[in-house]
Amino acid sequence: MSSHISTKAAIAGITIEPCIFNAAGPLCVTKEELEAIGSSHSGAIMTKSCTFEPRPGNPEPRYYEDALGSINSMGLPNLGYMKYAEFSSEMKKYRKPYIVSVAGLSLQDNIEIVKYLGQFKDIDAIELNLSCPNVIGKPQVAYDFDASDEMLREVLKVNKHVLGVKLSPYFDFAHFQQMAGVLKKHKLAFVSCVNSLGEGLFIDADAEQVAIKPKGGFGGIGGDYIKPTALANVRKFYELLDRKVPIVGVGGIKSGRDAFEFILAGATAVQIGTEFMRSGTACFARVDAELKALMKEKGYSTLDDFRGKLKVL
Ligand code: RRO
């Protein structure tokens, strides 16, 4: 069989091929790390969330993984937004979208950062991160619906790029509704669901201690632990946003079968976090090959053949 199977996706006119790329966070802080993603099979290059000032992040150890997933309290280590703008021209050679994740520590910071990034034509998109669980003393914006509304309103006023938002996981239908109501008020190019699930705690029974140092061991949970939550968030926002806003699925994807489930739930593209941290850039080609093999088995040749077509009982 030589039928062509495509895992190409498009968001606001930007081609993402394959539809699988790195989640903001792991291994995307330095230029070298971003170049490694550029040289890999990843469908896009996503940066670590950036802030106004460069940050060293929280004290180490700040990342830990077990067989089922990860906990982190990185605390936004990044080079500062200007560096990620500066890298954009060099990222062009990889011929894939370069997406800057923005997580300013205040409304004013986000306005300044997004305004500045607007001058850089080689930035293809911005993912505005409203869901960092690890800045000590700062609650997640995405759990405050009024603050999220104001943030989007003010940031979009100065934005010149394709801009999407990265959400926290929600756990209640009322909260899905409330956030969808906020999102519908603004023109967003995409919605990424979900950030890590905070505030979790890993405990080592042998040592009788926590796994990471910051915040007494509390941090954001990723990997297998959160896949059902991520799938639920993708599905709900896909439905509540009337299947019109592209959803980027993220949370526990480590195989082509996982990616298939997210697309079936309604995702346009998917990101890999914990598994990328675990296995490095090789995961992008593997997950894409597995997804294509599964599509072939099922007789699908494009993502449109099954996106969102989840059956209910
Ligand atoms: O850097 C972090 O601690 C971090 C961020 Br900004 C985020 O959005 N999600 C996460 O799990 N960790």
Q: Write out pLDDT tens, residues 90-99.
A: 999 999 999 9
pLDDT given for residue 147 in this prediction = 96
Closest CA to 9 of 18, 219, 307: 18
Q: Write out pLDDT tens, residues 191-211.
A: 999 999 999 999 999 999 999
As a whole number of angstroms, the distance between CA 272 and CA 11 comes to 17
Rounded mean pLDDT, 139-158: 96
Domains and their CATH numbers in the chain: 9-58+75-196+223-305 (3.20.20.70)
User: What residues have CB less than 8 Å from 22, skipping those under 6 apart?
Assistant: 28, 37, 42, 44, 45, 46, 271, 272, 273, 276, 284
Q: How far is the CA of 25 from the centre of ligand 1 (A)?
A: 6
50 lines ligand 1 (CB under 6 A): no
| 3-class DSSP string for the chain | CCCCCCCCEEECCEEECCCEEECCCCCCCCHHHHHHHHHCCCCCEECCCECCCCECCCCCCCEEEECCEEEECCCCCECCHHHHHHCHHHHHHHCCCEEEEECCCCHHHHHHHHHHHCCCCCCCEEEEECCCCCCCCCCCHHHCHHHHHHHHHHHHHHCCCEEEEEECCCCCHHHHHHHHHHHHCCCCCEEEECCCEEEEECEECCCCEECCCHHHHEEEEEEHHHHHHHHHHHHHHHHHCCCCCCEEEECCCCCHHHHHHHHHHCEEEEEECHHHHHHCCHHHHHHHHHHHHHHHHHCCCCHHHCCCCCCCC
pLDDT given for residue 3 in this prediction = 64
179 lines ligand 1 (CB under 6 A): no
Nearest atom in ligand 1 to 73's CA: 3
47 lines ligand 1 (CB under 6 A): no
Q: How far is the CA of 134 from the centre of ligand 1 (A)?
A: 6
Which contacts of 3-9 are long-range, i.e. CB under 8 A and separated by 24 or more positions? 3/296, 3/301, 4/301, 5/292, 5/295, 5/296, 5/300, 5/301, 5/302, 6/301, 6/302, 6/303, 7/288, 7/291, 7/292, 7/295, 7/303, 8/302, 8/303, 9/43, 9/246, 9/268, 9/269, 9/303
Q: How far is the CA of 72 from the centre of ligand 1 (A)?
A: 7
Q: Write out pLDDT tens, residues 77-118.
A: 999 999 999 999 999 999 999 999 999 999 999 999 999 999
pLDDT given for residue 133 in this prediction = 83
Sorting pLDDT into bands at 50, 70 and 90, what band is 165? very high
Q: Whose CA is nearest to atom 9 of ligand 1?
A: 132
198 lines ligand 1 (CB under 6 A): no
The residue whose CB lies within 8 Å of the most ligand 1 atoms, and thus the one to mutate among 47, 51, 58, 74, is 74
Q: How far is the CA of 219 from the centre of ligand 1 (A)?
A: 9
Q: Write out pLDDT tens, residues 273-286.
A: 999 999 999 999 99
As a whole number of angstroms, the distance between CA 204 and CA 220 comes to 17
pLDDT given for residue 135 in this prediction = 81
User: What residues have CB less than 8 Å from 224, skipping those under 6 apart?
Assistant: 68, 69, 252, 254
Nearest atom in ligand 1 to 49's CA: 6
Sorting pLDDT into bands at 50, 70 and 90, what band is 287? very high
Q: Write out pLDDT tens, residues 29-67.
A: 999 999 999 999 999 999 999 999 999 999 999 999 999
50 is annotated as an active-site residue: no
Tell me which of 19, 28, 132, 193 is the catalytic residue: 132
pLDDT given for residue 139 in this prediction = 85
The residue whose CB lies within 8 Å of the most ligand 1 atoms, and thus the one to mutate among 196, 276, 277, is 196
**Region at 125 (left for phi over 0; alpha for psi -120 to 50; beta for the rest):** beta
Q: Whose CA is nearest to atom 1 of ligand 1?
A: 76
Model pTM score: 0.98
Sorting pLDDT into bands at 50, 70 and 90, what band is 1? very low
The residue whose CB lies within 8 Å of the most ligand 1 atoms, and thus the one to mutate among 47, 132, 135, is 132
Q: How far is the CA of 193 from the centre of ligand 1 (A)?
A: 14
Q: Whose CA is nearest to atom 7 of ligand 1?
A: 132
Sorting pLDDT into bands at 50, 70 and 90, what band is 134? confident
